């Protein structure tokens, strides 16, 4: 567990007790802080260990685990022993004045949540677990941090950097928006590298994270319900570089206008700024999990990071060749009679789906869900590769109309099982059946992972 001496004797309120929130409670209590915590989900509240009866001078001497609750998020071991207080309290009933910070999960909308308004009015800092990690860094063995952000591709790039470091025998961990919560893992030994995938939400909750290497892959319209327009969303991404010390490395993809603008603003860094240009020709034939133009950019970014960290070329090459990829991101789930079935459920907007279409010569494209926009313009240059499209979910009728206007043959399948069955029947050897929805999953599924799992199961059930 990672903790900071600076937390001792301070007071924190924690909103949200899923994986990262529960880990933050444990770390803060272990660091000697007084904590009150709350989650609207009863199962999460019950799963968090609570104080034993008060002893001594009104401070809990120990914490006892609450009974397990079906469906509750698993927590990494019991809360540590020692003198501190922790209680579960509805934060709407608490006067936040005098607290050192309100710690919230990235899912809490900072632009609309009433508790955020309350904290700001009380002059209380609003932070997340990544900022707590930043505060703990002086107490950790000497190390470096890589932060990876961008609208699309950040999970693959984060995992690839982590894999290359492991290949080079560099102590490393992978956290943030991927892997285990950063505060729940053990501190790395001297020379270790923490690799963090960072969403804009996480960056918004961070003030002092000074990454030795910061990466921005791209910025395209997404999550605009949380921001006052696209420029504000792009500015959130750019804050990752504003937190860096002089001399630290920046790696920026310049394939879109917003990212290129951020790169220009940092042009004075000279050799400490690496620009990743789009359309770079690369031989990806030896990287089975890194096919397609989007993965060329991901690979170039990871290579730049590895070089900045001093990793040798041989280890970089081996890492690229042995990287297995991530589930739901251009994941080849089966080959049947010469037809590839590919799960790209993580492609939740058109900008993410476009390079997936470009990875194949002939595609049976399954798309649709809860749309994040009204068009598929980012995919239009690849429409000539679509043998047939199969639309599902809320956006199915709208997407079908757009595709028909562009001359694409469309079946309005409605559901994912229907789409898989129809696409499998129509596909011919050498073609691909691609789930790359260009939309969120929440109309028919809990999340993109469940959508991808259903796709995989449907492919497995084909006769």
DSSP 283-337: --TT-TT--SHHHHHHHHHHHHHHHHTT--HHHHHHHHHH----TTSSEEEEEET
List, in order, residues 6 or more apart from 384 with CB less than 8 Å away: none
Residue 57: band (very low, low, confident or very high) from pLDDT cuts 50, 70, 90: very low
Residue 279: band (very low, low, confident or very high) from pLDDT cuts 50, 70, 90: low
Report pLDDT for 50. Answer: 52
Asked if 460 contacts 390 with a C-beta cutoff of 8 angstroms, the reply is no
CA angle 384/386/389 to nearest 5° reads 140
Report pLDDT for 235. Answer: 96
Query: For a pLDDT cut of 70, what percent of the chain falls above it?
Result: 92
The CATH number linked to 172 is: 3.40.1190.10
Asked if 274 contacts 249 with a C-beta cutoff of 8 angstroms, the reply is yes
CA distances 172 to 132, 191, 244, 409, Å, are: 19, 9, 20, 47
Region 5-15 average pLDDT: 96
The CATH number linked to 340 is: 3.90.190.20
- 3 state SS of 92: helix
List pLDDT tens digits, range 133-185.
999 999 999 999 999 999 999 999 999 999 999 999 999 999 999 989 999 99
- Residue 453 domain-assigned? yes
Burial of 386 (0-12, 13-18, 19+ CB in 10 A): buried
- Residue 70 domain-assigned? yes
Structural domain containing residue 391: 331-460
236 C-beta neighbours (distance < 10 Å), count: 20
Report pLDDT for 282. Answer: 80
Q: Of 290, 322, 354, which one is at a domain's C-terminal end?
A: 322
List pLDDT tens digits, range 65-116.
332 222 333 333 444 444 467 899 999 999 999 999 999 998 888 888 999 9
Token pair 């120990």 is at which residue? 62
Asked if 273 contacts 238 with a C-beta cutoff of 8 angstroms, the reply is no
List pLDDT tens digits, range 395-441.
999 999 999 999 999 999 999 999 999 999 999 999 999 999 999 99
Q: How far apart are CA 128 and CA 100, in angstroms?
A: 13
List pLDDT tens digits, range 290-308.
888 889 999 999 999 999 9
List, in order, residues 6 or more apart from 454 with CB less than 8 Å away: 416, 417, 445
pLDDT higher at 106 or 345: 345
Do 170 and 117 share a domain, yes or no? no
Q: How far apart are CA 169 and CA 310, in angstroms?
A: 12
List, in order, residues 6 or more apart from 61 with CB less than 8 Å away: 52, 55, 81, 83
The residues annotated with a catalytic role in the active site are: 154, 177, 223
Do 301 and 346 share a domain, yes or no? no
Do 343 and 377 share a domain, yes or no? yes
Do 283 and 399 share a domain, yes or no? no
- Residue 14 domain-assigned? yes
- Residue 383 domain-assigned? yes
Report pLDDT for 49. Answer: 66
Do 147 and 266 share a domain, yes or no? yes
Residue 194 has pLDDT above 60, yes or no: yes
List pLDDT tens digits, range 375-394.
999 999 999 999 999 999 99
List, in order, residues 6 or more apart from 435 with CB less than 8 Å away: 342, 343, 344, 345, 366, 416, 420, 451, 452, 455
Asked if 367 contacts 350 with a C-beta cutoff of 8 angstroms, the reply is no
Residue 280: band (very low, low, confident or very high) from pLDDT cuts 50, 70, 90: confident
- Residue 45 domain-assigned? yes
Do 348 and 290 share a domain, yes or no? no
- Residue 154 domain-assigned? yes
Do 406 and 289 share a domain, yes or no? no
- Residue 132 domain-assigned? no
Residue 223: band (very low, low, confident or very high) from pLDDT cuts 50, 70, 90: confident
Q: Dihedrals φ, ψ of 201, to 5°?
A: -60, -40
Q: Of 70, 96, 127, which one is at a domain's C-terminal end?
A: 127
Report pLDDT for 373. Answer: 83
Do 312 and 337 share a domain, yes or no? no
Report pLDDT for 407. Answer: 98
Do 108 and 227 share a domain, yes or no? no
Region 324-334 average pLDDT: 91
List pLDDT tens digits, range 253-271.
999 999 999 999 998 888 8
- Torsion from C-alpha of 160, 162, 167, 168, nearest 10 degrees: 120
Do 303 and 341 share a domain, yes or no? no
Q: What average pLDDT does the chain have?
A: 90
CA distances 438 to 77, 165, 456, Å, are: 39, 32, 18
Query: For a pLDDT cut of 90, what percent of the chain falls above it?
Result: 79
Do 181 and 316 share a domain, yes or no? yes
Q: How far apart are CA 229 and CA 212, in angstroms?
A: 30
Residue 197 has pLDDT above 60, yes or no: yes
Report pLDDT for 270. Answer: 86
Report pLDDT for 283. Answer: 86
Asked if 179 contacts 110 with a C-beta cutoff of 8 angstroms, the reply is no
Asked if 182 contacts 196 with a C-beta cutoff of 8 angstroms, the reply is yes
Q: How far apart are CA 80 and CA 89, in angstroms?
A: 20
Q: Of 322, 340, 358, which one is at a domain's C-terminal end?
A: 322
Q: How far apart are CA 342 and CA 344, in angstroms?
A: 6
List pLDDT tens digits, range 37-48.
999 999 999 888
Domain count, the chain: 3
Residue 205 has pLDDT above 50, yes or no: yes
Asked if 28 contacts 36 with a C-beta cutoff of 8 angstroms, the reply is no
Residue 130 has pLDDT above 80, yes or no: yes
Asked if 195 contacts 173 with a C-beta cutoff of 8 angstroms, the reply is yes
Do 267 and 308 share a domain, yes or no? yes
């Amino acid at each position: 567990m990672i903790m900071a001496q600076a937390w001792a004797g301070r007071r924190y309120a924690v909103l949200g007790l899923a994986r990262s929130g529960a880990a933050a409670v444990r770390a803060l209590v272990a660091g000697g802080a007084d904590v009150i915590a709350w989650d609207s989900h009863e199962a999460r509240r019950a799963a968090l260990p609570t104080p034993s009866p008060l002893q001594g001078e009104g401070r809990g001497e120990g914490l006892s685990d609450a009974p397990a609750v079906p469906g509750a998020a698993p927590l990494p071991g019991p809360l540590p022993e020692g003198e501190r207080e922790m209680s579960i309290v509805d934060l709407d009933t608490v006067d936040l004045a005098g607290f050192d910070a309100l710690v919230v999960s990235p899912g809490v909308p900072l632009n609309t949540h009433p508790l955020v308004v309350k904290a700001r009015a009380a002059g209380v800092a609003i932070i997340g677990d990544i900022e707590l990690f930043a505060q703990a860094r002086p107490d950790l063995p000497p190390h470096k941090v890589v932060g990876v952000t961008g609208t699309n591709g950040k999970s693959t790039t984060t995992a690839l950097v982590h894999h290359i470091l492991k290949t080079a025998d560099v102590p490393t961990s992978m956290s943030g928006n991927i892997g285990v919560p950063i505060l729940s893992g053990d501190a790395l030994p001297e020379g270790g590298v923490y690799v963090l995938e960072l969403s804009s939400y996480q960056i918004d909750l961070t003030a002092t994270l000074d990454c030795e290497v910061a990466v921005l892959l791209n910025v395209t319209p997404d999550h605009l319900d949380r921001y006052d327009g696209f420029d504000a969303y792009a500015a959130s991404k750019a804050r990752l570089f504003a937190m860096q010390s002089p001399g630290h490395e920046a790696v920026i993809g310049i394939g879109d206008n917003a990212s290129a603008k951020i790169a220009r603003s940092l042009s004075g860094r000279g050799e400490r700024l690496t620009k990743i240009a789009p359309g770079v020709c690369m031989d990806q034939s030896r990287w089975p999990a890194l096919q397609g133009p989007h993965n060329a950019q991901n690979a170039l970014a990871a290579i730049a990071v590895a070089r900045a960290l001093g990793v040798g070329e041989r280890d970089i090459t081996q890492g690229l060749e042995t990287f297995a990829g991530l589930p739901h991101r251009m994941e080849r789930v089966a080959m049947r009679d010469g037809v590839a079935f590919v799960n790209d459920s993580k492609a939740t907007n058109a900008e993410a789906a476009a390079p997936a279409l470009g990875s194949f010569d002939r595609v049976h494209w399954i798309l649709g869900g809860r749309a994040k926009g009204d068009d598929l313009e980012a995919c239009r240059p690849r429409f000539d590769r679509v043998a047939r499209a199969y639309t599902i979910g809320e956006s199915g009728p709208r997407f079908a109309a757009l595709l028909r206007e562009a001359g694409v043959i469309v079946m309005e399948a409605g559901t994912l099982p229907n789409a898989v069955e129809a696409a499998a029947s129509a596909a011919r050897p050498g073609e691909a059946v691609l789930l790359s929805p260009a939309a969120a999953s929440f109309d028919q599924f809990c999340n993109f992972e469940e959508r991808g799992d259903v796709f995989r199961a449907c492919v497995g059930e084909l006769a």
